[in-house]
Structure 1
Amino acid sequence: MAHKLPRSPIGRLLPRHATRAVEDALEDTRVVLVNGARQCGKSTIVAQIGGERGGTWRSLDRAATRQAAEFDPTSFVREDELLIIDEVQRVPELLLAIKEVVDADPRPGRFLLTGSARVLGLRGVPDALPGRMETIELWPLSQGEIEGRPDGFVDAVFEQGPGLRHQSDELRSGYIDRIVRGGFPEAVAREGRRREAFFDNYVADIVNREVMQLSEIERGHEMRSLIRLLAARSGQLLVPGALAGLLGLPQTTVSRYLGLLEEVFLIKRIPAWSRNLSGRAVSTAKVAMVDSGIAANLIGQDAASLRRLESPLGGLVEAFVAMEMARQLTWSRTRAELSHYRTKDQVEVDIVLEDRRGRVVAIDVKASATVRPDDFKGINHLAARLGGDLLAGIVLYAGTETLPFGEKNRALPISTLWELGS
């Protein structure tokens, strides 16, 4: 039977950029997996698509359904038409049963799955579906999805390079409001203490319900302490040894915990970029919380406190921008990789985008409403090593105008990320 469309906490269903990708994949792929954080809208998007196709819905969050799947996986997945299985990571044995079905009947669009963990990376999960499954990542709402804007920066910057122009009405206070709101539909629909309560409960559920089930972790307080440390270091280098020292834990334990937090989509590592242009480039990844609202809440910051001059706004803004770009890269026409650049002399570029043709866009992020030539120091350093491969150097800032700083360098409003189409 068709599943009733979940109620949106915002009061209306917001169009998601990933919808087209899921629909296209179902046309030529036997199994489609929508993977992403809990409560980011996976169930809504698959229920909407499945309802239009007359699909059968089964949620493994329901105890009786989960028990049936565990008892007889083969019978559970035997359906003539589209079968939607929500939270498939709860019974990973289903993947082998699905493989048998789609090998016997290779019609496209047989299964539409959702997962709140990186399903194929989980220990004990059989590598059952190579060549049979397409995975589409779904993130918390982007700024463009919340407001019906294009979210087209990535495509636009690779198409226009330094010719990109944009003027915005958004001010620094508006960016702060966006950061503390985040992108989870429940958080977008709430304000003040009710939003903070959602964030508190969300993190607690992730630790108690997701992480504890994925791994043999007995002391959840250690994981919660690590999560708070990571929130305070959002946009900074991720050094497991330093975190281990602060927590009094073995580095191997901290590294395992970090992997689990990635699997449940709470954090994202941003790898270091290098073409071996300089032996002085460091290889350490940066870390960002996937949702800026969770990060701000974990360090006790609301909009009022972030407006103070001494607030930790800089790291939050950088991570916020990086995660908006990570979202865009899941639907942009341009296939590019997201990374950062830093040398041992601490010359850095916050974000490096490189497409399949080797063209690079170097981006720094500033929380202030003014830009100086010195703000392009890291970009110019990288440009000198890249030569013609540098397409554009961009400083995203909290001002309203596009400002030129040389042939390839531009300062652009942060809101260019979601207000500009390509």
Structure 2
Amino acid sequence: MGRIIQTMKGYARRIVDDELDELLTGLSAVSLEGPKGVGKTATAAARAGTSYQLDVPAELQVAQADPRRLLAGAEPILIDEWQLFPASWDLVRRAVDENPAPSRFLLTGSASPSGAPTHSGAARIVPVRMRPLSLAERDIETSVSLAELLSGSGAAIAGTTETTLRDYVEEILAGGFPAIRGLPGRAARAQLDGYLQRVIDREFPEQGLTVRHPDTLRAWMRAYAAATSSTATFESIRGAATPGVGNKPARSTTIPYRDVLSRLWLLDPVPAWLPTNNKFKELAAVEKHQLADPALAARLLNVTAAKLLSGEAVGPAVPRDGTLLGALFEGLIALNLRVYAQSCEAEVRHLRTHRGEHEVDFVVVAGDGGVVAVEVKLSTTVEESDLTHLKWLRTTLGTDLRDAVLLTTGQHAYRRADGIAVIPAALLGP
């Protein structure tokens, strides 16, 4: 049991690798967390000395019979899909207590075990989130750094891209799961469908929830997909899952759906920004809905490029501003910003005043409190009205606002005379 793994040839380095390089120089154990298929195993195996794959039945059985074998081998030791044998977490935690030398263990997990104290190893096993491929990891050339924007240097903004609206649509549909991206259209769609079906058929039971009515769960997931980039209430999502049906599924049925999908890292909502200073009054605390990858939302809604580009109404009727394409484009931006912000030790939030007078699509908050505000526009042109909320936030925050950005589908990146940066979405990187 246990295989020695050399650095994998052909491994495409991810943005999270830089974070792992820094962390493992001082930390003994790191846990890579995120949904299945985002590349956690490949990233961990590329730097592991020994690998134990607990999703292989034979290896799992040996680990259950003799847990301490998971501590044997060349370090770092990778324990892949540790949640299938939750005792492995405490085993590593105790091993780190005994010997906290750097770079000893890598764990990967595609779910938080139901009822398990996942982070009971705080200060011993440090979690690192891994998400699907960002645009910068899809061989799309970038020219503007989020880290530079967060520095507040006001650096010149430049760069040109040939990425078109059609290209963004194709990226939304292709998704950021590495093993699926290389497949031709129908095969990729079949793989995404299979991914979603596996969630219902296998992942839910593994999380301790038997789905007696799979169609009800799938309808709820479709409604959630339709709510992408909105702050729709869970009651409205529940209602949209069964339009025209008087006897809606009970809250006691749908709340476990949300909980399990969260434990599987498939729901990735953007929290509201609620700063502790007194510069704001009556900020809304609701989160903005996102799935782990907008490609999953697109498959749940069975949309094509033609449907998205036509602006055709698709899927359950969930209250939102604008078109479904606009919502999914914002979902793609959310994925990118979160990957880039994590590399900068920053967080991504959204802002909305209680009555909706002001909204900012994304607020990237650095560890020192500095802020970059980001608005998203599905257009190649910029109107003054597109900048209203950015200018309001700049007036409100003063020097705490390091930069203000409008992301577009245009070709050219530049800084306006009023200081606001206009950047094609494809050109923004870490």
Is the contact between residue 96 and residue 126 of structure 1 (CA under 8 Å) also seen in structure 2?
Answer: no
For residues 29 and 69 of structure 1, the distance between their equivalents in structure 2, rounded to whole angstroms, comes to: 24
- Code of the residue aligned with 2:380 in structure 1: it is A
Is the contact between residue 267 and residue 290 of structure 2 (CA under 8 Å) also seen in structure 1?
Answer: yes
Alignment of 1:139-154 (within 5 A): 139-147=131-139, 149=141, 153-154=145-146
Following superposition, the deviation at residue 289 of structure 1 comes to 1.6
Following superposition, the deviation at residue 58 of structure 1 comes to 1.2
Is the contact between residue 162 and residue 408 of structure 1 (CA under 8 Å) also seen in structure 2?
Answer: no
Alignment of 1:20-419 (within 5 A): 20-50=18-48, 55-79=49-73, 81-118=75-112, 122-125=114-117, 127-147=119-139, 149=141, 153-159=145-151, 160-161=153-154, 163-219=156-212, 220-247=214-241, 248-251=248-251, 253-275=253-275, 277-310=279-312, 312-332=324-344, 335-343=345-353, 344-402=355-413, 404-418=415-429
For residues 111 and 151 of structure 1, the distance between their equivalents in structure 2, rounded to whole angstroms, comes to: 35
Q: 1:392 to 1:69 in 2, by over 3 A?
A: same
Q: 1:176 to 1:148 in 2, by over 3 A?
A: closer
For residues 123 and 41 of structure 1, the distance between their equivalents in structure 2, rounded to whole angstroms, comes to: 26
Deviation digits for residues 267-326 of structure 1, max 9, x if unmatched? 211111133544332111001122122222221222222222446210011111011111
Deviation digits for residues 379-409 of structure 1, max 9, x if unmatched? 2232332233222221111111235555232
Question: Which range moved further: 225-234 or 76-85?
Answer: 76-85
TM-score (norm 1): 0.88
- Code of the residue aligned with 1:383 in structure 2: it is R
Please state whether the residue corresponding to 1:394 is helix, strand or coil: strand
For residues 168 and 417 of structure 1, the distance between their equivalents in structure 2, rounded to whole angstroms, comes to: 11
Following superposition, the deviation at residue 203 of structure 1 comes to 1.0
Following superposition, the deviation at residue 135 of structure 1 comes to 1.9
TM-score (norm 2): 0.86
For residues 358 and 221 of structure 1, the distance between their equivalents in structure 2, rounded to whole angstroms, comes to: 45
- Code of the residue aligned with 1:204 in structure 2: it is Q
Q: 1:291 to 1:5 in 2, by over 3 A?
A: farther
Q: 1:7 to 1:201 in 2, by over 3 A?
A: farther
- Code of the residue aligned with 2:331 in structure 1: it is A
- Code of the residue aligned with 1:143 in structure 2: it is L
For residues 109 and 280 of structure 1, the distance between their equivalents in structure 2, rounded to whole angstroms, comes to: 45
Please state whether the residue corresponding to 2:374 is helix, strand or coil: strand
Percent identity, aligned pairs only, is: 27
Following superposition, the deviation at residue 83 of structure 1 comes to 2.3
Following superposition, the deviation at residue 152 of structure 1 comes to 5.9
Following superposition, the deviation at residue 238 of structure 1 comes to 4.2
- Number of residue pairs matched by the alignment: 408
Please state whether the residue corresponding to 2:368 is helix, strand or coil: coil
- Code of the residue aligned with 1:145 in structure 2: it is E
Following superposition, the deviation at residue 43 of structure 1 comes to 1.4
